[in-house]
Amino acid sequence: MNRIKVINEPSELVPMLRSVDTPVKRDVLKEVTLEWKTADEIEKKFGPEGRDAIIFFEKMKLVETRWLSTNGNYPEKSYHTYYTSFNINAQWPVYEISDVLAAAMMGEEEYSAVENKILEQVGKEGKFSGDVAEALGLSSTMLKSLVRRSVKMDYRGHRIELIREE
């Protein structure tokens, strides 16, 4: 089935850009584009960074999952890319796209500090995104981009909430 990801909002670029920011992520993405792979198979081929990449792709909704029986053992979760192509509507104001690119390209140390500030604001119960943006002095586009980069939190409507592990 052909699935096309249509990107209409600038912050939706962040997961795409972050999904290919290291050689391992690029290679893992290519691998799961070709066929269904389990996290163990990915880790065996690419190491722990490969497993982290597949977890990141799942959070970013770039892969789909299904249970696969392997060698008569218990079924394992396997991964495959969800989209076959992307359609990007790239007409955004400079101030918005600059926030998106800044969030996507921010160094890990700087991002971790900002992410922790957002997590403090959000707390365990979640919080309205406008309140978080105001408290931290961020534009809504920058906040959306930073949250979309995180594997610890996500948007639920207009609220930012922690991601609950399955």
Q: What is the pLDDT along the chain (166 residues), one digit of tens a residue?
A: 678 888 888 888 888 888 888 999 999 999 999 999 999 999 999 999 999 999 889 988 899 999 987 676 788 899 999 888 888 877 888 988 899 999 999 999 999 999 999 999 999 999 999 999 999 999 999 999 999 999 899 999 999 999 876 5
What is the per-residue pLDDT for 13?
87
Express the helix, strand and coil content of the chain in percent, nearest 5 each: 50, 20, 30
What is the per-residue pLDDT for 28?
95
What is the per-residue pLDDT for 102?
94
- Burial grade of 97 (CB within 10 A; 0-12, 13-18, 19 or more): middle
What is the per-residue pLDDT for 120?
96
4-88 belongs to CATH 1.10.10.10 = yes
- Among positive and negative, which fits the CA dihedral 120, 126, 128, 130? positive
4-88 shares its CATH topology with 94-162: yes
- Burial grade of 100 (CB within 10 A; 0-12, 13-18, 19 or more): buried
CATH code for residues 94-162? 1.10.10
What is the per-residue pLDDT for 90?
76
Domain ranges of the chain: 4-88, 94-162
pTM of the model: 0.77
